[in-house]
Structure 1
Amino acid sequence: MLGVQMVQLENVMKQFDDTYVVDDLNLDIKSGEFLTLLGPSGCGKTTTLRMIAGFEKPTSGKILLNGKQVDELEPYKREVNTVFQSYSLFPHMTVFDNVAFGLKMKKVPKEEIQERVTKALKLVQLEEYGNRKPKQLSGGQQQRIAIARAIVNNPKVLLLDEPLGALDLKLRKQMQLELKHLQQTLNITFIYVTHDQEEALTMSDRIVVMNKGKIEQIGLPYEIYERPQTRFVADFIGQTNILEGTVTAINGEQATMKFADQVVEIPNTTDVTLNEEVYISVRPEKIKLSETPFEGSINLKGTFKEKIYVGSVTKIVVTMANGQDITVNESHDKIDELTNTNDVYVSWSPKNSVVLKK
């Protein structure tokens, strides 16, 4: 039942030598939730997953699974299973025997093994491949077998450490949707580790953005993308333009920021103060390019620098007077007409400005 706390991390620290790779982490993960730990290499996300799995012990703090403290328990005594990027299938065994291996080690009755393995293979849509060897399967099929081997044990929590990283782009996107559907079918807690922002946004109920061993922000995919709370999150999730300026006036729910030699009206959603230095984050798809300013919009004048065709849109780069580049995602219509002139305006609605304190 979604809402019950399935995994709890309380003041968890992990130290290697003189460095804390996980620093005072507090996190509650609900039963039946698909939660993603997202961040760059070295941010502590995989170490956090390994501590939940039992492969690493925290330097301090507590890890609870379904209300029971487990940080001192061996991995096999925890009701979790882990799927890694490397499939680690036994090449000499059939698909069926690979999936059944853990159950056989636990001396589960043969009839029950047959039933549970068949069900697991059906869930990953490979019920007809039981007699094949791993080398006879594609990379995506092998990854499904690794997932079947994990879920056949009926874990309360499934841990996934960048399981799709070895797949090509098209197959990875297909597997993202399949994994999400599988999680919804099983209704068990998935904790997923990735550095791929699009993957996290596609699959997750909630996303935990990590940086240097700490949590930068926790939220729904929409919140993480549309309303980042720190410059790191704004810059790491997707592409954005970040302007740096000083607050020169405050008028209730609006404020004025001076950016280079231009004045920008911003929503005072973060209680900025006079003369405070702040950032504005605005996504390229929120910006329009024009030869003249738009009424009621934030308008900055710049010089056309270059255009880059990327398929669904054309990226236009405009250079401001202070030398900063602003990227705009525009449809292909009228791009040539707009970029034949040097001076152009980049415009966006004030509501699409995300104000970030320094």
Structure 2
Amino acid sequence: MVRLENVSKKFGNTYAVEQLNLDIKTGEFLTLLGPSGCGKTTTLRMIAGFEKPNEGNIWINGEKVDKVEPYNREVNTVFQSYSLFPHMTVAENVAFGLKMKKVSKQEIAKRVKEALELVQLANFADRKPKKLSGGQQQRIAIARAIVNNPQVLLLDEPLGALDLKLRKQMQLELKQLQEELGMTFIYVTHDQEEALTMSDRIVIMNQGKIEQMGLPDEIYEKPATKFVADFIGETNLFEGTVMDANPSFATMKCGGRHISIPNTGNFSKNERVYMSIRPEKIHVSAQAGEEDNLLSATLKDEIYIGSVTKIIGEFPDGQKVIAHGSRDILKSCTRGDQLYLHWEPADSVVFEMKEKMEV
């Protein structure tokens, strides 16, 4: 449905987006995810036509749109700010774009009714926006966009102004709406959980380029780079040197500790690497066992977060480690006590550092 080919955008001498290549499927919910300034919103604005690329081409449903004005593109955009007309009713706000296109009154009434039913606001058609909640106002903005039957709906952090509970509710509603419509959604956010919840595919952007794209579980479980591992969710990152290796596993020396890692990158002796291990993959116990990657750490803190307790340990060299466990494990422990941490080597992900170091 949407293709970007070697697309670049510069502001002054700085690339906001550089040589971006991306194909977005028909009916796909694709999320552009990354930190502020990574180029995700600029990419969305170029698809919408609000920004012109300095280089490259953009196609929407097979039509090259580089020089097509925003109002002539088969896309609609939903922003974080709702931009509703306060003097109009909900129905009048939704109908506004159709009136500008001089659609017949009968057709407008039919399509507005259908759009409001889709966002569950049919009973609010005669109300003014100021009498509705933030979540309801956002739904009006979405109805106003989908009533035009665009081929692509662009959403630029549309839930950012909502409180946490409402944002989570709206995430599920948006995904359900997209599935009902079968429409292509391109969504921009810096919220990792939001992206994981709603997306068919996620594109991780960093400094104007794509770091990784894939299914949500692929992005989380198998990050392709250190940046992705560190950006998505919570993780522990260790830096060390490969001591020895065989085709399946290697041994990594890290601050005096020896850690078994998967040899997915054909690592060789003396190679410098990063290793990432998620907190939920680390098992915590009060007594030492004989497991792989068994390390001792000092209990520094525990944080109760509902379903799990976040356990913060510290290795002898001062490096912190975070694990998820149950409060039962800590009943006999106090701050300053020794804990034992272990994880399966295959649960960790390793990235090369492109350099050698003699040991």
Q: What is the deviation of 1:340?
A: 6.2
Q: What is the deviation of 1:334?
A: 2.7
The residue aligned with 2:16 is: 21
Query: Which residue of 219, 228, 234 maps to 1:224?
Result: 219
Deviations 1:46-93 (A, max 9, x none): 000000000000010111111111011100111000000000000111
Query: Which residue of 51, 59, 70 maps to 1:64?
Result: 59
Query: Which residue of 69, 92, 97 maps to 2:92?
Result: 97
Query: Which residue of 158, 168, 177 maps to 2:153?
Result: 158
TM-score relative to the length of structure 2: 0.96
Other structure's SS at 2:328 match: coil
The residue aligned with 2:357 is: none
Query: Which residue of 240, 247, 254 maps to 1:259?
Result: 254
Q: What is the deviation of 1:346?
A: 1.2
TM-score relative to the length of structure 1: 0.97
Percent identity at matched positions? Answer: 67
1:183 aligns with 2:178: yes
Report the AA paired with residue 352 of structure 1.
Answer: D
Unaligned segments of structure 1, at least 5 residues: 1-5
Range with greater deviation from structure 2 (262-271 or 114-123): 262-271
1:174 aligns with 2:149: no
Deviations 1:229-279 (A, max 9, x none): 111111111110001110010112111111111111111112212211001
Deviations 1:194-213 (A, max 9, x none): 00000000000000011111
| RMSD over equivalenced CA pairs, Å | 1.1
Other structure's SS at 2:332 match: helix
1:148 aligns with 2:140: no
Q: What is the rounded CA distance, in whole Å, between the counterparts of 2:335 and 2:159 in structure 1? A: 43
Report the AA paired with residue 335 of structure 1.
Answer: L
Q: What is the deviation of 1:317?
A: 1.0
Q: What is the deviation of 1:339?
A: 4.0
1:283 aligns with 2:278: yes
Report the AA paired with residue 98 of structure 1.
Answer: N
Residue 90 of structure 2 contacts residue 129 of structure 2 at CA under 8 Å; is this kept in 1?
yes
Q: What is the deviation of 1:308?
A: 1.6
Report the AA paired with residue 69 of structure 2.
Answer: E
Residue 31 of structure 2 contacts residue 201 of structure 2 at CA under 8 Å; is this kept in 1?
yes
Residue 235 of structure 2 contacts residue 276 of structure 2 at CA under 8 Å; is this kept in 1?
yes
1:204 aligns with 2:179: no
Q: What is the rounded CA distance, in whole Å, between the counterparts of 2:252 and 2:299 in structure 1? A: 23
Residue 241 of structure 2 contacts residue 270 of structure 2 at CA under 8 Å; is this kept in 1?
yes
Residue 293 of structure 1 contacts residue 347 of structure 1 at CA under 8 Å; is this kept in 2?
no
Q: What is the deviation of 1:341?
A: 6.2
Deviations 1:97-121 (A, max 9, x none): 1000010111111111111110000
Residue 298 of structure 2 contacts residue 338 of structure 2 at CA under 8 Å; is this kept in 1?
yes
Query: Which residue of 54, 69, 74 maps to 2:69?
Result: 74
Unaligned segments of structure 2, at least 5 residues: 354-359
Report the AA paired with residue 189 of structure 1.
Answer: T
Other structure's SS at 2:3 match: strand
Report the AA paired with residue 285 of structure 1.
Answer: E
Query: Which residue of 118, 125, 138 maps to 2:120?
Result: 125
Q: What is the rounded CA distance, in whole Å, between the counterparts of 1:127 and 1:19 in structure 2? A: 47
Give the 4+ runs in structure 1 shifted more than 4 A.
Answer: none
The residue aligned with 1:35 is: 30
Q: What is the rounded CA distance, in whole Å, between the counterparts of 1:170 and 1:302 in structure 2? A: 36
Q: What is the deviation of 1:32?
A: 0.3
The residue aligned with 2:39 is: 44
Report the AA paired with residue 224 of structure 1.
Answer: I
